[in-house]
Amino acid sequence: MSRDWSKLQIVCYPDPVLRKVCRPVEAFDADLAALAERMLELMRAEQGVGLAAPQVGLPLRLFVCNVTGDLKDDMILVNPEIRETFGDAESQEGCLSIPDVTVTVRRAQRCRIVASDLTGRPIEADGADLLARCWQHELDHLNGRLIIDAMSETDRIANRKTLRELERKHKSSRGVVAL
């Protein structure tokens, strides 16, 4: 029987789960499929292009993404690893777990990713530009890294007030238990 993931929500900085190195997914079952579907729903509702499991409070090596918005382009990557990278480019990035913050991040322009699908079958794919950037961003989440770790001094100054407000909100909500 699958868990009810309907109450799952996106967690925001500075929630400690966002800093955890995630553990591998071991069970490829209906529960994992239901979790991935809920993550896709949350990602779409917030108009994001990717969402990693720690962003919904679960320290698992799983992320979903879709950079085109076309449902046929939904990707669910379990236990992903980037194997090769090519070139590099700087671009502005935001994050669903750090609302209203944008940071200039240098990433590989193209990369190859290996992962498993929801049944445990291997996947290997090449991505470029926004897709490659998305994969790298989400993989950072699985390793406890956030875009704010790449902030320049200019980014730090520009985002200081917003980050402090997120920290204040988190501190004041600590007594509330959410799933």
The SS3 assignment for 64 reads: strand
8 Å CB contact between 63 and 141: yes
If you ran DSSP here, which 8-state letter would residue 67 be given?
S
Helical segments of 103-152, H only: 129-142
User: For 39, how many CA atoms within 13 A lie in the half-sphere containing its CB?
Assistant: 29
CA atoms of 31 and 78, how far apart (whole Å) = 13
What's the token pair of residue 56?
């919904």
Q: What are phi and psi of 70, to 5 degrees?
A: -85, 125
Taking CA atoms, 151 is separated from 90, 105, 114, in Å, by 12, 8, 28
Active-site residue, 153 included: no
Which is catalytic among the residues 93, 138, 153, 167? 138
Catalytic residues: 138
